[in-house]
Copies of this chain bind each other. A is one copy, B any other.
Amino acid sequence: MPPPHDLTPGTVAARCGVSVSALHFYEREGLIESHRTAGNQRRYHRDVLRRIAFIRVSQGLGISLAQIRTALGTLPDDRVPTKADWSRLSRGWRADLDARIDQLQRLRDDLDGCIGCGCLSLRSCTLYNPGDSLGADGPGARRLRRADAPAEPLNRPG
């Protein structure tokens, strides 16, 4: 039996509801750490449980692992994070969430307008030209995003 502060991969996986392969993946991606036994097996500090909890919750909010990694990077490395630290990180997602909600609400409003007009008219549709970048320079449809811009999706975080 390992010392109580050394958790095995199986234990961590069971208690966090993630797979062992996900633990490996998170470690490769720099989201969590482990140390090794003499026989090269991973052991985790208990703090990893909270860390993984944060990761899972954040993913549930639609945050990418890249963003999560960045947030985790702001935790102090000279001590175990406190409740206040985790609170601060969570507060950080609040703004992100607000922005996404606003964005979706704007899209919904635009959509309402377009449902009325049968729109998708390729020239005046707000939904189609989110940046307002299309002036009136002659009749008929033409390109809608600058053709070189690779059409970033509007609402996926990242």
Contact = CB atoms under 8 A, between A and B. Distances in A.
Interface in A78-136: 82-84, 86-87, 90-91, 93-94, 97-98, 100-101, 104-105, 107-108, 111-112, 114-116, 118-122, 125, 127-128, 130
A111 B90 contact: yes
A139 to B, nearest CB: 12
* Protomer copies: 2
Contact of A98 (B91, B98, B108): B108
Interface of A is mostly: helix
Contacts of A18: 151
20 contacts: A16-B122, A16-B141, A17-B144, A17-B147, A49-B122, A53-B120, A53-B122, A53-B128, A56-B128, A56-B144, A57-B127, A59-B153, A61-B107, A61-B154, A62-B155, A86-B118, A90-B115, A91-B115, A100-B104, A101-B104
A44 interface: no
Range of interface residues on A (Cβ < 8 Å): 35 or more
Given A49-B141, A104-B97, A154 B60 contact: yes
